[in-house]
Amino acid sequence: MGVGLLVYVDPGEILGSQPTGLNLDQVSYLGQCLVEATPDNFESSLAFLRQNFSKLAINFDVRQLRSWDHVVDLLNNGASKLFVNFEQLKALSQEPTISQDRLVLTISLVNPKTDIGKLKSFLETNTEWMTREWAFYGDKGNEQVDEVLKELGNYPPSHDQTIFVRITSEGEGRNLLHEYPGNALIVSSKLLTFDQSKEGHEKLIPAVDLVLAGATPDRKTGLYATTVVDERGVALGLVWSSKESIAEALKTGAGVYQSRKRGLWHKGASSGDTQELISIAFDCDKDCLLFKVHQKGKGFCHLGTTSCWGKSSGLSKLQRTLLDRKVDAPEGSYTARLFNDSKLVNAKIKEEADELCAANTKEDIASEAADLLYFALTRCIAAGVTLEDIEKNLDLKSLKVKRRKGDAKPQYVEDKPPKEQSQSESNGVNGPQDEEVKEAASVPKAPSDPAGKTSSGRIELKRYSTTQAFSDDVLKAALQRPSQKSNEKIMSLVRPIIADVRADGDSAVLQYTHKFEKATSLKSPVLKAPFPESLMQLPEETIKAINISYDNILKFHSAQKSSAPLVVETMPGVTCSRFSRPIEKVGLYIPGGTAVLPSTALMLGVPAMAAGCKDIVFASPPRADGTLTPEIVYIAHKVGAREIVLAGGAQAVAAMAYGTESITKVDKILGPGNQFVTAAKMLVSNDTSAAVSIDMPAGPSEVLVIADKTADPAFVASDLLSQAEHGTDSQVVLIAIDLDEKELQAIEDEVHKQAHELPRVDIVRGAIEHSVTISVATLEEAMKWSNYYAPEHLILQIAEPRSVLPSVQNAGSVFIGGWTPESVGDYSAGVNHSLPTYGYARQYSGVNLGSFTKSITSSEVTEQGVGEVGYAVMELARCEGLDAHRRAMEIRMEKLGIVERKVPANGNTAVGKDEPVTAAGEQGAEATIQPTKSTPSESQTDGVEAPTAA
Ligand SMILES: *[C@@H]1O[C@H](CO)[C@@H](O)[C@H](O)[C@H]1NC(C)=O
Ligand SMILES: *[C@@H]1O[C@H](CO)[C@@H](O)[C@H](O)[C@H]1NC(C)=O
Ligand SMILES: *[C@@H]1O[C@H](CO)[C@@H](O)[C@H](O)[C@H]1NC(C)=O
Ligand SMILES: *[C@@H]1O[C@H](CO)[C@@H](O)[C@H](O)[C@H]1NC(C)=O
Ligand SMILES: *[C@@H]1O[C@H](CO)[C@@H](O)[C@H](O)[C@H]1NC(C)=O
């Protein structure tokens, strides 16, 4: 509580030459001052606060301020307390971040009756303010104050309550403090003096009288016990003070005390170890003085030590040593080099910070922190910054009304574009320092390095975090790949159809179906499973035929499924493996119209089912009455399709590629189609926002690194950069699992540092522009986003990388563990580097052995086989109206004299049923259970014939 004197100052006057009274240095000896802030003097009041807050506690009377921002500015710049009126108090009390200790309720006793009435009613509803700090401004002397306190039932005030009272004469003040020592006096600097000789002159009040009013001296000696401390509050010794010595100390601004033997004692007068006075204060019950001083020379104690309790230690000692060395370190010594070479000291700080981050045990952390503090303090002392400055800065930060979160930089706390933030930061303190660190690392740069010329700041990935308020949409937008770039007539007819379906969804699909299929009665563009029995009413023969083909196709394709992953050790310690995953959502286009093509549905649907695709979507144009051929519905049912899109042509492709309100968006579209279907597939597969495939397109290289706390920041950075150097359109993504600010920073620092060492730094800079870091809390989340992104290269720099493989759903190639850089896959491990980019890892494999072989299928049917399968072939050929196909089977059955042509119960029994045989005749057609997938008639039978005709 200082000395119970709050010196009212006018910044303008006290910084100029005030004709009478105290100057600012003198006021600061008393510890605190009060400034009246008004809208007119606000800027200069704020400047005064900013530049002097470390010297003394500055309080503001803000009753005239109207702007909330002004009030908050004062608080945030270190104002000690604000003197406020009722209204301001109510408003500020609502702010949870404003400590009520920093508010003083100010009562102006101009109209005592009204004012007291107001105060009473205020206190009735705000009882907590009964015991908080009040300030009285009266104009008729301050006997009033006691009366008012009594009237309010608050006399004497509680002992932790300070009542500030503005006074204009010494007598007034002395009385007030005798009545109640907890009072504090507000008195103008112009009315005070430290000069005893001026006592009695004019109206000046000797400050020492007010300082000692209400204080309790030692009973025996009549002196005041005095603790002497240094700037940081470290005790130097215990001495005595008298009124005379205090007056002398204030007047001379030095450590002056009262020796019981020798009288007035000017500390250091004989030894030279003098003291500069910083401030004086009383303790809580006003019976012990505190002198805060700056000790010069050897120290305070007559034995030559810093304090009377021995030598200094810890940070104080380190600071003392560094201050001494700064003056007289031997040339060429390490400390001298540190002081002389800012690059060296900055590099050491970084190195020690890294080591502190990596430390685990208590001792290691203490040891690394000590090293870091050593170099940090060296940097400070070299720049003339002391521990006191640092501590005052800490105090200032603690006074901020809205504090920055300690664990994150502002771009994570505030919803601002991360880029802007990082730029403003690199323009600030960090940028230049990092440049220096880079150079201090003394790694030779390539001669052609253009970084020096074009460097505009840090090379760093934009940061996002799932633990902050980033929505999935924001993250998905952040993960967008940088934008990439036929029969043009057909394309131009198809483009508007795709655009319409994208824009209007179901209604556009329906509209085109009404137009092209003439199915005007159709109300919904999609049929959802389970499909009604009524729509798959087929002759039993047809069902059996489908059953047989289904079983055979399933058998064959199931056998193609390799159950065990291929694992090959190509070199000792270099293991490559191949494993497969089904594409989750597939859209199977089955041409319709006049022809019925159950074979296409089987050939597409059964492998999809065998592969284990989760969502199978069929699309087929409906007939004019709005129905589908029942064969297709039945097959869709058998393969477990989720839905059938009742549309054909470009509109069906677009609907499956983008999804609509009711149609599922798929990852890959398969199936034959006419030129419109083909054009639509090319267009949607070229549209990266559709993220749907038909064929493997090539795109810019990319890598996604998942790193946890075990990852080496330098490795992580090197992997990110190895893809970033491919081209400015490359993209690299870091998913950081539970990394704290320091760990993220370590990676960013490495990226920045290593990037500058690369000859292709400008390409890297371009790639990094659209590259991101996403912070997530868990491995599961990391995998979720990695699978969402579907990277070409996925690098797992995590604790147990191999255990994560089962949850890798989408990736071109996986690099397991910190020792496996992506480049090993590019050149030497054995896996192929032709991999799906641009998110096509969702539906494509990288180039593998299968891509370089073709599959030849052969069929051999025996006499017995003709009996087994003949019926099904003929029945399906009949369905499709391809008579020559049917005849080719029939002619053989006739030859064998198979007259009972019942469909066998299953493929292995030869029992047939009666079935009339049509006349023999045609020859030469191949006998296969596998009709061609795309028939010659498809382009006429498909949905979108209208545009070309037009
Ligand atoms: C106090 O603030 C003023 C500006 O308002 C400045 O000129 C002066 O140097 C400051 N004094 C100290 C000791 O910082
Ligand atoms: C500091 O560096 C300057 C040259 O930059 C040199 O002249 C001086 O001797 C150095 N001082 C010490 C203490 O090493
Ligand atoms: C066709 O196969 C299904 C099983 O998928 C079976 O329930 C049904 O009875 C079979 N129908 C005929 C006629 O074989
Ligand atoms: C698809 O994109 C490639 C380049 O990425 C381009 O060459 C091709 O013309 C595009 N095709 C269509 C149909 O837009
Ligand atoms: C990798 O793929 C490329 C085509 O991009 C091919 O030329 C090469 O032979 C493949 N290498 C291996 C080992 O499969």
Burial environment of residue 892 by CB neighbours within 10 A (0 to 12, 13 to 18, 19 or more): buried
Question: Which of 824, 832, 845, 852 to probe ligand 5 with, by most ligand atoms within 8 A of CB?
Answer: 832
Q: Which atom of ligand 4 is nearest to the CA of 682?
A: 13
pLDDT score for 612: 85
pLDDT score for 528: 94
DSSP state of 266: E
376 C-alpha to ligand 2 centroid (Å)? 21
DSSP state of 838: T
pLDDT score for 646: 94
544 C-alpha to ligand 3 centroid (Å)? 7
Ligand closest to 382 (CA) is: 2
Nearest CA to ligand 5 atom 8: 832
pLDDT score for 774: 93
Helix (H) or strand (E) holding 281: strand 275-282
Question: Which of 538, 540, 543 to probe ligand 3 with, by most ligand atoms within 8 A of CB?
Answer: 543
The Cα–Cα gap between 234 and 922 comes to 113
pLDDT score for 600: 77
543 C-alpha to ligand 3 centroid (Å)? 7
The ligand 1 site (C-beta within 6 Å) comprises 11, 15, 47-48, 51-52, 55
What is the SS3 assignment for 215? coil
340 C-alpha to ligand 2 centroid (Å)? 6
547 C-alpha to ligand 3 centroid (Å)? 6
485 C-alpha to ligand 4 centroid (Å)? 7
In whole angstroms, what separates CA 659 from the centre of its chain?
31
Peptide bond into 530 cis (omega under 30): yes
Ligand closest to 634 (CA) is: 3
Residues with Cβ within 8 Å of 311's Cβ and at least 6 positions away in sequence, in order, are 305, 317
Could you tell me where the DSSP H helices lie in 414-565? 418-427, 430-440, 451-454, 472-478, 488-504, 506-516, 540-560
Token pair recorded at residue 714? 């330098």
Tens digit of each residue's pLDDT (9 = 90 or more) over 96-109: 788 888 999 988 77
pLDDT score for 666: 94
Nearest CA to ligand 4 atom 12: 683
Within 10 angstroms of residue 933's Cβ, the number of other Cβ atoms is 16
Q: Residues for the chain: how many in total?
A: 950
Q: Rounded to 5 degrees, what are φ and ψ at 471?
A: -80, 165
- Conformation bin of residue 856: beta by default, left when phi > 0, alpha when psi is -120 to 50: beta
**CB distance 688 to 715 below 8 Å:** no
Nearest CA to ligand 1 atom 12: 52
Question: Which of 334, 340, 341, 345 to probe ligand 2 with, by most ligand atoms within 8 A of CB?
Answer: 340
Q: Which atom of ligand 4 is nearest to the CA of 686?
A: 1
Token pair recorded at residue 586? 């597939």
pLDDT score for 833: 46
Instruction: Look up residue 907 and give its amino acid.
Output: G
The ligand 4 site (C-beta within 6 Å) comprises 484-486, 682-683, 686
Q: Which atom of ligand 3 is nearest to the CA of 638?
A: 5
For the residues of 81-147, what is the DSSP string, one character each? Answer: -EEE-HHHHHHHHT-TTS-GGGEEEEEEETSHHHHHHHHHHHHHH-GGGGSS-EEEEESS-SHHHHH
The Cα–Cα gap between 396 and 391 comes to 9
Domains, the chain, with CATH or none:
5-212 (3.20.20.70), 224-295 (3.10.20.810), 314-398 (1.10.287.1080), 505-694 (3.40.50.1980), 702-845 (3.40.50.1980), 862-941 (no CATH)
C-alpha angle 37-38-44 in degrees, rounded to nearest 5: 65
Nearest CA to ligand 4 atom 7: 485
- Which residues of the chain have a pLDDT value below 70? 1, 138-143, 178-179, 198-202, 402-457, 468-470, 482-487, 562-563, 570-574, 576, 593-596, 695-700, 824-836, 846-858, 899-950
Ligand closest to 49 (CA) is: 1
Active site residues: 792-793
- CA distance readout (Å), 442 to 344, 350, 436, 457, 828: 10, 14, 10, 19, 31
Residue with tokens 């020798």: 262
Q: Which atom of ligand 2 is nearest to the CA of 339?
A: 13
Helix (H) or strand (E) holding 735: strand 731-737
Burial environment of residue 448 by CB neighbours within 10 A (0 to 12, 13 to 18, 19 or more): exposed
Residues with Cβ within 8 Å of 162's Cβ and at least 6 positions away in sequence, in order, are 1, 133, 182, 183, 184
The Cα–Cα gap between 130 and 127 comes to 5
